[in-house]
Amino acid sequence: KAGVTQTPRYLIKTRGQQVTLSCSPISGHRSVSWYQQTPGQGLQFLFEYFSETQRNKGNFPGRFSGRQFSNSRSEMNVSTLELGDSALYLCASSEGTGTVEQFFGPGTRLTVL
């Protein structure tokens, strides 16, 4: 089975712009979660989608949003980028029901100038 894929792998944007990141989960997985990783704050949960519905949301401003499509692929959008949004954005996929293992993608490295 192919693993979790994320595109693009690297992005450079300027303050005020917006960005969309994409995540394709493992085939058959219906849950996709997003995390932000920074040197200062470590790994922090953004949100989780299951069957096209947001089930859970972390403590991030409304500039961070996401969605999930019927094929379980997910996108994350950040509007009005700030310098502090520079981070590695990771998505994780799981079967979505019960206590199951989460599998992470390689991440998208976002740099905001």
Partner 1 sequence: KQEVTQIPAALSVPEGENLVLNCSFTDSAIYNLQWFRQDPGKGLTSLLLIQSSQREQTSGRLNASLDKSSGRSTLYIAASQPGDSATYLCAVEGGSARQLTFGSGTQLTVLP
Question: For partner 1, which is the closer residue by CB, 80 or 96?
Answer: 96
The neighbouring-strand residues paired with 66 are 76
| Distance from C-alpha of 81 to C-alpha of 112, rounded to nearest angstrom | 7
Query: Is residue 107 involved in binding partner 1 (CB under 8 A)?
Result: yes
Interface residue with partner 1, options 21, 105, 110, 112 (CB under 8 A): 105
Q: Which pair of tokens denotes residue 102? A: 């989460």
Interface residue with partner 1, options 24, 25, 29, 31 (CB under 8 A): 31
Going from the C-alpha of 40 to that of each of 20, 44, 47, 83, 86, the distances in angstroms are 23, 11, 20, 14, 11
Query: Is residue 102 involved in binding partner 1 (CB under 8 A)?
Result: yes
The neighbouring-strand residues paired with 3 are none
Provide the binding-site residues for partner 1, judged by CB under 8 A.
Answer: 4, 6, 31, 33, 35, 42-45, 48, 50, 55-56, 58, 88, 90, 92, 94, 96, 99-107, 109
